């Protein structure tokens, strides 16, 4: 299991979700995608994206500076 972490602060949907799709497509099953973003709709967008792409959202948390971070199982 590998963890790949990306900082997408400054990106808004749909660019944020497109970048997540590109990154996770090159990952192996069981790897973790960790994303930090400051988009106002990040939490809702990630929940919807995971459902749409059949990915498991492990957690999402506030990391300060109006940013949130999530971990998704590839």
Domain residue extents for the chain: 3-73
* pLDDT tops 90 at residue 2: yes
Our CA dihedral for 42, 45, 51, 56, rounded to 10 degrees, sits at -10
Per the CB < 8 A criterion, the answer to whether 68 and 43 are in contact is: yes
Q: List, in order, residues 6 or more apart from 30 with CB less than 8 Å away.
A: 1, 73, 74
Confidence of residue 64 (pLDDT cuts 50, 70, 90): very high
Per-residue pLDDT at 1:
86
Confidence of residue 40 (pLDDT cuts 50, 70, 90): very high
CATH number (3.20.20.60, 3.10.20.30, 3.30.110.40, 1.20.120.80) of 3-73 reads 3.30.110.40
* pLDDT tops 90 at residue 14: yes
């Amino acid at each position: 299991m590998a963890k790949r972490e990306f900082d997408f602060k400054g990106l808004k949907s749909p660019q944020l979700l497109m970048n997540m799709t590109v990154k996770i497509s090159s990952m192996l099953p069981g790897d973790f995608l960790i994303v930090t973003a400051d988009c106002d709709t990040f939490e809702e967008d990630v929940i919807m994206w995971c459902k749409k792409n059949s990915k498991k959202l492990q957690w999402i948390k506030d990391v300060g500076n109006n940013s949130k971070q999530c971990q998704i199982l590839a």
